[in-house]
Amino acid sequence: MEFTWMIGAEAGAGSMVTGRTLAKVFARGGYHVVGYPEYPSLIRGGHNTYQIRMSDNKIHSPVKKNDVVVALNRNGIIFNRDSINKGGVLIYDSELDVADVKMPEGVSVFPVPLKQIVEQNGLDPRMANTITVGISLGLIDYPMDDFFHLLDKEFSRKSKEIVDLNIKAAKAGYEYVKKNFKGHFAIKFKPIKKDNKQIVIGGNEAFALGAVAGGVKLFAAYPMTPASSVLHYLAEKERDFNIVVKQTEDEIAAVEYAIGAAYAGVRAGTSTSGGGFSLMVESLGLSALSETPVVVFLAQRPGPSTCLPTWTEQGDLRFALHASQGEFLRAILAPGTVEEEFYLGAEAFNIADKYQIPVIVMSDKFLSESHFSTQRFEPGKVKIERGEIAAKLKTLKPMERFERYKLTRSGISPRVFPGTPNGMHVATSYEHREDSFSSENFEMRADMVDKRARKQKLLEKEIPLPKVYGKKDAPISIICWGSQMLPAVDALPMLEAKGIHANVIHFSYLYPLPKKIRAVLKSAKNTLIIENNSTAQFTGMLKEYLSFKPNVVALKYDGKQFFPEEVAKVVEEAKANKFRKKVVRVVDEGEYEYYNPAAYSEVR
């Protein structure tokens, strides 16, 4: 049982709120849900869509085709008509001038007089979105109770009158489709069960909650798409979580706030995208040399420069790996699901504290801004580990300082926080002796480099093996990292339907890459890696650190993530070619440009 719905409209018309609300309706009915937004870098104008995919089976990713498309303007028809499955339905405002628009074949076309329904029921024109939700639910015979409850939750802070009017709008849409839809639509749904434990959440919000569960007390950031909602969410919940949230004047200040707070003894982090991370890299080196922990959440988008601000890519991995001058250890994590965003978001602060290093958590626009149904997270499962923190110290002699950077076998030196008796030291960007005094002694310099590097052996012991989805002995393995696990896993049943057996090997710990991972990769037979960049960055890391080279590399870097259909296709073709074609390029072809609808003759 599966259903895919999309709404298309001009920016500012409320398509995102409408879509997310409907996603919550289905999640409350016990279904698995994925909500996927697409939009150009425009405050007004351009074209926005929000797709909901729901199923009674576990699903992870959006798909290319829709069963129902709701178009609130002419562009909503033109841009999305080719995405409708045969037997699907196109719903649009009958006020639109569409006489010259070619309608899709094999699709039921259902014009709805939204303006008339609004006027007849004494509604605000902005409630047209609510009417279309009522129409959509009526089309699949889905009960309205959960939607009414969500409307009450959403608008009760305004007034009961607004709640009642929205409920009236939804009922009007529901009744209209029941009376007037003459086409055939076979998909019907009822709630499976009432599931109040299931939530619908985006990747950024999941990371923010993970950071809080992990003990973060200061979060400083400057807004930058697609990382902005981490800051927005934490700022809104600042008092609820008893934390300090600071929107700084720029990204340099943001990371410096976080490092300074961590030095003072609290867990601290920041969030940004590639352009902001470019400004943070010098301070990342300060964190490394002063051995002050910091967590940076890096939500990727296409680059270089401004590029495509509201689309997605995995192009910053090598940048994160080598950011800042010199050589130093850092950890790089890349959650693949909202659950991993939460639990790895918390774990990032443990790693930063225990090893006194910067930790970079990498997401991307696709995972950061899409929404997924999941069971409520369990903060009680998060264990906070702060590492080597010295509390009771020996009395210092005159002119003596605490050995903050003591040369230990593990490479980890005990930390002290300001104000700790007998813990006096300095933390600067300069190389130093064990007692923290700046030093240009060559032997001491080499000893300090080696000391900081020794931490890696301990860290590697903690890093788990990559997860394998599907049968471990499958003849084909799809390798991926971060968010691309989502379409890869959803491609497996598509392949099974064609008699092709495969599994997915997913990396969420990207660096360091301990040698023990070789066993997992060595057991794979025919291997195909998918990456959302043009230079196969993680493929290069696997070769460099683990001497592993996959049979086929599939790359996509047009601004969209892989879809399950695309993953299934490249695997199918690789199998047919006996895995001889080494590099495959995947592109979304023939689609309209959301940024500039006026460029097309049918759009006006």
Note the pLDDT tens digit of each residue in 500-543.
999 999 999 999 999 999 999 999 999 999 999 999 999 999 99
Indicate if 467-586 has the same CATH topology as 200-381.
yes
Which pLDDT score, from 0 to 100, does residue 589 have? 81
Please say whether the beta carbons of 294 and 262 come within 8 A: yes
Is pLDDT of 566 > 70? yes
> Using one digit for the tens of pLDDT, what is the confidence trace for 414-472?
999 999 999 999 999 999 999 999 999 999 999 999 999 999 999 999 999 999 999 99
Is pLDDT of 321 > 90? yes
Q: What integer best gives the mean pLDDT of the chain?
A: 95
Which pLDDT score, from 0 to 100, does residue 154 have? 83
Rounded mean pLDDT, 314-336: 98
Residues 136 and 142: their CA atoms lie apart, in Å, by 9
Read off the pLDDT band of 548 (50, 70, 90).
Answer: very high
Q: H or E element: which one contains 440?
A: none
Q: pTM to 2 decimals? A: 0.96
Residues 63 and 53: their CA atoms lie apart, in Å, by 8
Phi, psi angle pair for 397, to nearest 5°: -80, 165
Rounded mean pLDDT, 308-319: 97
Read off the pLDDT band of 57 (50, 70, 90).
Answer: very high
Residues 80 and 239: their CA atoms lie apart, in Å, by 42
Residue 318: HSE in the Cβ half-sphere, 13 Å Cα cutoff: 14
- Fill in the DSSP letter of residue 187: -
Which pLDDT score, from 0 to 100, does residue 244 have? 98
The residue behind tokens 């969209």 is 560
Rounded mean pLDDT, 483-497: 98
Q: H or E element: which one contains 430?
A: none
Is pLDDT of 135 > 60? yes
Is pLDDT of 604 > 70? no
Q: Which two tokens stand for residue 197?
A: 């434990």
Q: What share of the chain is helix, strand, coil (3-state, %, to 5)?
A: 40, 20, 40
Name the CATH topology of 467-586: Rossmann fold (3.40.50)
Burial 581-590 (b: 16+ CB within 10 A, else e): eeebebeeee
Residues 394 and 412: their CA atoms lie apart, in Å, by 19
Which pLDDT score, from 0 to 100, does residue 43 have? 76
Q: Which two tokens stand for residue 135?
A: 């129409």
Which pLDDT score, from 0 to 100, does residue 194 have? 75
Strands (DSSP E) contained in 56-138 are 66-71, 84-93, 108-112
Is pLDDT of 601 > 70? no
Rounded mean pLDDT, 279-290: 98
Please say whether the beta carbons of 530 and 566 come within 8 A: no
The residue behind tokens 């008509």 is 81
Please say whether the beta carbons of 304 and 277 come within 8 A: no
> Using one digit for the tens of pLDDT, what is the confidence trace for 192-238?
987 678 999 999 999 999 999 999 999 999 999 999 999 999 999 99
Which pLDDT score, from 0 to 100, does residue 52 have? 98
Residues 28 and 376: their CA atoms lie apart, in Å, by 12
Among 171-185, 271-285, 588-602, name the one with the lowest average pLDDT: 588-602
Please say whether the beta carbons of 524 and 24 come within 8 A: no
Is pLDDT of 108 > 80? yes
- Fill in the DSSP letter of residue 432: B
Task: Specify whether the backbone of 544 is left (phi greater than 0), alpha (psi in -120 to 50) or beta.
Answer: alpha
Please say whether the beta carbons of 113 and 63 come within 8 A: no
Among 45-59, 270-284, 496-510, name the one with the lowest average pLDDT: 45-59
Which pLDDT score, from 0 to 100, does residue 391 have? 79
Read off the pLDDT band of 45 (50, 70, 90).
Answer: confident
Rounded mean pLDDT, 473-497: 98
Can you identify the CATH homologous superfamily of domain 2-196?
A: Pyruvate-ferredoxin oxidoreductase, PFOR, domain III (3.40.920.10)
Residues 332 and 319: their CA atoms lie apart, in Å, by 11
Which pLDDT score, from 0 to 100, does residue 4 have? 98
Residues 53 and 311: their CA atoms lie apart, in Å, by 20
Distances (CA, A) of 25 to 28, 99, 147, 524: 5, 35, 6, 41
The residue behind tokens 């943001």 is 254
Please say whether the beta carbons of 84 and 183 come within 8 A: no
Q: How many helices (H) and strands (E) does the chain have?
A: 19, 21
Among 77-81, 191-195, 272-276, 596-600, name the one with the lowest average pLDDT: 596-600
Name the CATH topology of 200-381: Rossmann fold (3.40.50)
Residues 412 and 291: their CA atoms lie apart, in Å, by 9
Is pLDDT of 603 > 90? no
Q: What percent of the chain has pLDDT over 70?
A: 99
What does the CA dihedral 593, 599, 602, 604 come to, rounded to 10 degrees? Answer: 110
Closest CA to 139 of 174, 191, 104, 94: 174
Q: Which two tokens stand for residue 401?
A: 């300082």
Is pLDDT of 602 > 70? no
Please say whether the beta carbons of 46 and 40 come within 8 A: yes
